[in-house]
Amino acid sequence: MYAEYQERGRVLPWRETRDPWAILVSELMLQQTQVARVLPKYGEWLRRWPDPSSMAAASVAEVLAAWSGLGYNRRALALKAAASIIETEHGGTVPEDAAALRALPGVGGYTAGAVRAFAFGLPDVFLETNIRAALLHWFFPDREGVRDRELLPVAAAVLDRADPRAWHYALMDYGAALKKLAPNPSRRSAHHAVQSRFEGSLRQARGAIVRILSAEGPHEAESIHERCGMERERVANALAALVAEGTVEYAGSLVRVRET
């Protein structure tokens, strides 16, 4: 597998760095988003905010405007909040400690493990969709409904602790290749879920609202309904959800992207 990775491994910008901030940015961008959509945003993002300090100083409106097209805007808010915590509590340096990483907004077990492995070369064990596919293919070929708690000990047993960075990248590429050659092994995971259709979804309405407010500034709620060109109830529900999570806020009768 290593030989295959060395010869045909995917060349991706976040694989060319060991900068913990750059890797943290890539991992949050890649959550629930395809590589092809992340690639044009990643370099632009790091040129604009090359470290947590610059990100912490940015406005929410700037961050959401730059994030447009990646979906799930709460990840952008989490990244900005994480940058602020890194700046104030960790001296502007992304922490190496697993617990400190997991305490950052938007960072769970997988993301913390990925940052530790890819930035610091530490032998953490973690699962993502392609790693899961590879392990299911080799070690559970005839099983359905395999749970992650069964996969994690296997992942720990086969991990190359001398080079966890290359091992995980190779395993990811192998799992991605498997999905193109045979029925997706991930479907046999108990945690496999098919993403809901985007067209006509609440996600679509949320994205439209944030794009309008980021590009045009504050709007009356009625104006947002008209500008979105979608069903009134869907837009109203999306707007309420955005207000509840703190992405947008009311300033009198106007709705705007949260300022801080």
Which residue among 27, 96, 128, 226 is the active-site one?
A: 27
Rounded distance, CA 16 to CA 13, Å?
5
Amino acid at 226: E
Q: Classify residue 189 by its DSSP letter.
A: B
| Residue 171 CB-half CA count within 13 A | 26
Told to judge if 27 belongs to the known catalytic residues of this protein, a careful annotator would answer: yes
Q: How would you label 158-187 residue by residue, b for 16+ Cβ within 10 Å and e otherwise?
A: ebeeeebbbbbbbbbbbbbbbbeeeebbbe
Cα angle 151-153-159, degrees, rounded to a multiple of 5: 100
Residues labelled catalytic: 27
